[in-house]
Amino acid sequence: MQGHRGETLTTAQIRAIVLRGFPQFNVGSLLPNDHGSGNKSCCWCVGTKDQIFNPIRSGLYRVFSGRAASLGRADMTQPAGCSKAEFQVKNNPTVGPQGDLAAAAAKIGEPHAIAACCVAELRLEGAKLGNEYFYQSLPQCVIDAVYSIGVRYEGVQNAVRRYCDHFGLQEFRQPRDRMPATSEQQPLSALVEQLVRLGAERFAREVARNSQRTSARGGILKSDAVFRFSTVLRERGINFLQDARAVALDGNLEAQLRRIPGQGTGISISYFFMLTGTEDFVKPDRWITSFLQRCLGRDVGLQEVQPLLTEACEILRPRYPHLTPRLLDYLIWGHERARSQPRRRCG
């Protein structure tokens, strides 16, 4: 920790610093609280001139890495060993929690801070994508992408499943790693034809059984948005899963899709291409931005999410060769959703 003495760092930032110097270090064995006061099973360094950290609060530490006297810490003379008598936090000159995080992230680089958070909080080894990334046909991708904004994902899954059940379609491909031949897929044109035949309202009522709108005020039925989204794709010659990847970076197509009510942010558009198999995109929804904000200690704009996660993924890939921005996005999304769920109390 030389070069960081006197700084206030989070557990994630400490791990990032160590990993930069020792890439093969087992991050699971890096426990800053073992090298600070208040832990019953602390390191021998605690209470001596060699104590590394002084805990400020859970997950936040002041770096000593040297003689306490150099920081003017008179209370470092307490006996070695850990007890309930912790060092007084009030003697630490700190800024607010957000400032601490932001300063630490700026010191080591924000992508490295995000990578450290990912290692600390996510199960990266052997991670796999969910079933929704292996739909049998393109219509399921459009329905999922359009219906997924601003709602619980279980409702989206239900809409896709009901569509497949209504028309007798296979929902997911088997095996997952094989792209189905076009002869095995339902073409997107079939979805457009059904929407023309039934109309958006009847489709919402009888097929998807979901009458959500793209927004509470002035929004259109999501079934109507599905029709418009599909129509734009069809006008560009996109009918099967194999067609979608070739236009993933087409700015003109994105501009057309963004003009559909509810698609202004482009979130659904990125997600649609992720569902069709594009590995390099991420979906900057509220779960992803909340994770990044927690890692960096600052607000994160939608336009920042893609480059930040892409760079973090590149940092992690030497240790996790299978990792892609799409997979990292999926892991963060699942992790943040789980954190938001109320925990059951024991007893």
Q: Which residue in 148, 258, 249, 244 sits closest to 188, CA to CA? A: 244
Q: Does 280 share its domain with 161? A: yes
Residue 280 has pLDDT above 70, yes or no: yes
pLDDT value, residue 76 = 34
Residue type, 31: L
Average pLDDT over residues 271-295: 96
In a domain, 347, yes or no: no
To the nearest 10°, the Cα dihedral for 327, 329, 331, 333?
-150
Same domain? 164 vs 250: yes
Q: Please give the average per-residue pLDDT across 218-241, as a whole number.
A: 97
Instruction: Please check whether residue 111 lies inside any domain of the structure.
Output: no
Within this chain, do residues 327 and 236 fall inside the same structural domain, yes or no? Answer: yes
186 is a domain residue? yes
Question: How many domains does the structure of the chain reveal?
Answer: 2
Together in a domain, 182 and 301: yes
Same-domain check for residues 46 and 182: no
Residue 46 confidence (pLDDT): 59
Geometric angle at alpha carbon 113, from 108 and 114, rounded to 5°: 150
DSSP state of 237: T
State phi, psi for 261 to the nearest 5 degrees.
Answer: -50, 130
- pLDDT, residue 102, reads 64
Residues 81 and 202 in one domain: no
Q: Is 44's pLDDT higher than 90?
A: no
Distance (Å, whole) CA 268 – CA 258: 9
Residues 164 and 290 in one domain: yes
In a domain? residue 106: no
Within a domain: 145:
yes
Domain carrying residue 42: 8-101
User: Which pLDDT score is estimated for 10?
Assistant: 81
| Same structural domain, 290 and 170 | yes
Q: Would residue 291 count as lying in a domain?
A: yes
149 shares its domain with 77? no
Considering the domain architecture, whether residues 281 and 186 belong to the same structural domain is answered as yes
Is 113 domain-assigned? no
Range with the lowest mean pLDDT among 21-30, 124-133, 276-285? 21-30
**115 assigned to some structural domain:** no
The answer to whether residues 194 and 329 belong to one domain is yes
